[in-house]
Amino acid sequence: MITPSVSILILALVTAVVALGFAERVLERMRLSSTAAIIVLLAMAAAHFLPDIEFQGLTINLGALVLLGIVIYLIVTTTAQEALRAVIVGLITGAVIWLTDKLLPVDPSSAWFSLDPLFVGGIASGLIAYVLGRSRRSAFCGAILGTILVDLANMMELMQAGIPQSIHVGAGGLLASVAISPLIAVAIAEGIGEIRERLHRGSAVPSGGEDGE
Amino acid sequence: MVNSTKHAVLIFVVLLGFLTNLASAQELTERIQDEIDEWLTVGEYFQMVNEDGEVLMESGRVLVEGDEYLTSSNQLYRVVRVDSERNIAHAELVDTIELKVTPLSELMQAAGLTLAGSVDSEPRGLIGVYHTHNAESYVPTDGTDSIYGQGGIHKVGDAFAETLRGRGIEVEHSDNLHLPHDRGAYRRSRETALELLSQNPDAIFDIHRDAAPRDAYALQLEDEWVTSVQFVVGRQNQNLGVNREFAQSMKALADQVYPGLVKGIFFGRGNYNQDLSPLTMLVEAGAHTNSREAAEKGISLFAEVVDLYFYGTAEARGTEEGTKAGTEQGSRAATRSVTGLLVFVLAGAGIFYVINAGGLGAAIDRIKNLFRIKQR
């Protein structure tokens, strides 16, 4: 049996704490309280070890369902305009992932575009959400919705072709693309906002989205 | 905001129209991919040649500057110039490597893992097997190079798994499909790799077949024709140091048992999900021009090497006979891996600190204040 050494365990623990701290911070920006954010993260971690739900060729990890629940909560509890924007970001993000999957080289090690497909959703959602109104909330929701929509589009494509393939959503828990993408998206929306704010500091107050960034 | 929403709706409607017509979209994307893909059209091959014009390897993969290849005679070449018109990659000799079998225990140490239990009492562990590109098939026996569903590569995976099981090793051979065969396949197979890793396997193998002329992989062992195998190691992953050691050790051991069975190791861009664990390996089992039976025989021989490496000889298991060279190689790989991980952790902590402080300026102020207090 292979077991991790103590030093690597400590290092992994520190990494996990930093990553969870970052994730908690992101969820706080979604106007969740600190306690709620920690509960969500613990629920995601715990759900990863629970059996997946299988439905009509779709296998959903409960951790992914937790994320989907947050998206629905965020969309329902915001203004109609912000909700529409989040959905639009999700749809465009889904389209961007789908198109890059289809149009770019099959192997991620392409000579002219070597961005790992794992990060496309997060980056696209962060940029689109920023362009459409500098909204972290839209970035967060868009990344999750976009990633899941692409899985659904793939499922439809395979159903059309008569291929009995079960689509897995969020099977990797906190390492799955559906969990990584929203963190990247918020970091990008936040990062661009921060840079732009510094460039324009003192000259004008940037127009922000509904979530006030 | 109203204008941007209008634009977004317009873009969305156009994209939706595009997406709803999947058939024509598929046709269009196939045409575009033919133009830009790094895999050539079936029947076309890229050649890597050395300074004397000798062909080092042939593949349907488009080679780029910086790609490296360790030949069967352990000469490491690096691509320095690419002639895209003639599909030729000119490579220069970097080094001739004296391969050593780095004992498993050393490799584990390099990866920050340890083997629990003694060599003798340890039952044979679990090996994970999956296929990112499920459709890959063998023309002479499958009738086509690609079957939309479970292609011939799944049967090659079965042969690999059965040989291992026959030697008392538990094998989890995932038949998860990651279709369609597009850029998202590695993102989808990541879920499968994580599922397999959650079962704590000793190693996981992603088995593919190459697109190359028949002779590139054909190998005659005594009076039997089999296909050789080739390893692919992604250079864009933090486990590269240990992955490289792992691949080179497997080749070194295979060279002792079945000379020529491992035709080489290709070090390309990308990570091929090898960032998830240091003991993951992408194996090319023959090419589409070889028969599936030959590929099944070749991969079965490779399974014997896997058994030997993980559960076989004392040297490979890393008992007191472990070689000094292996230890040194393992230490170097360990240093690289731990350094990479440390940089990652520090970068993460830095980003977290800046966000927590409320911005870069505030973070710098905080640090300055900290020093001021100390100076007082």
> How much is the pTM?
0.74
Residues in chain A: 213
Instruction: Compute the distance between CA of residue B351 and CA of residue B345 in angstroms, rounded to an integer.
Output: 10
Inter-residue contact B298 to B156 (CB < 8 Å): no
**In this predicted model, which residue has the larger pLDDT, A204 or A36?**
A36
Of A148, A115, A170, A101, residue with least CA distance to B22: A101
Is A11 within 8 Å of B352 when comparing Cβ atoms?
no
Six-digit token pair at B87? 């599909």
More confident residue, A92 or A107: A92
Q: What is the pLDDT of residue B237?
A: 80
| Residues of chain A contacting residue B61, judged by C-beta atoms under 8 Å apart | 107
The closest CB to that of A5, out of B113, B269, B359, belongs to B113
Task: State the Cα angle at A35 between A31 and A36, rounded to 5°.
Answer: 55
- Mean pLDDT, chain B, as a whole number? 81
Say if the ipTM goes beyond 0.95: no
**Residue A71 DSSP SS3:** helix
Contacts of B62 in chain A (CB under 8 A): 111
- Closest listed residue to residue B232, CA positions, set B262, B277, B203, B197: B262
What CA–CA distance (Å, rounded) separates B266 from B74? 12
pLDDT at residue A86, rounded to an integer: 93
Q: What's the per-residue H, E or C state across B327-355? A: HHHHHHHHHHHHHHHHHHHHHHHHHHHHH
Enumerate residue ranges in chain B where pLDDT < 70: 1-43, 112-123, 313-345, 348-349, 352, 356, 370-376
Cα separation, B211 vs B44, in Å, equals 9
- Interface probe for B, chosen from A24, A92, A165, A197 (most Cβ of B below 10 Å), is A165
Q: What are the b/e assignments for B125-152, b being 16+ CB within 10 Å? A: bbbbbbbbbbbbbbbeebeebbbbbbbb
- Residues of A within 8 A of B109 (CB-CB) are 5
Contact across the interface for A108 and B186, Cβ inside 8 Å: yes
Please give the average per-residue pLDDT across A140-145, as a whole number: 92
For residue A165, the model assigns a pLDDT of: 74
Minimal-distance CA residue of chain B relative to A170: B191
How distant is the alpha carbon of residue B293 from its chain centre?
23
Q: Angle at Cα A184 formed by Cα B237 and Cα A89, nearest 5°?
A: 130
CB contacts of B36 in chain A (<8 Å) are 103-105, 110, 112
Give the three-class secondary structure for A211. coil
Q: Which residues pair with A3 in a beta bridge?
A: B114
For residue A1, name the pLDDT band (cuts at 50, 70, 90).
Answer: very low
pLDDT tens column, A160-197? 888 877 777 765 556 677 888 888 998 898 888 888 87
Place of tokens 């069967």: B72
Q: What is the pLDDT of residue B247?
A: 96
DSSP code, position B100:
-
Query: How far B180 CA lies from chain A's nearest CA (Å)?
Result: 7
**Cβ pair B183:A173 closer than 8 A:** no
- List, in sequence order, every residue forming a beta bridge with B229; answer none if it has no partner: B262, B285
Contacts of B301 (CB under 8 A, 6+ apart): B221, B226, B258, B261
Per residue in B158-207, pLDDT (tens digit) is 999 999 999 999 999 999 889 888 888 988 898 899 889 888 899 999 99
Q: What is the pLDDT of residue A26?
A: 77
Across the interface, whether the CB atoms of A109 and B38 are under 8 A apart is answered yes
Nearest chain A Cα distance for residue B23, angstroms: 9
Asked if the Cβ–Cβ distance from B22 to A175 is below 8 Å, we say no
Q: Locate tokens 């993408």: which residue?
A: A181
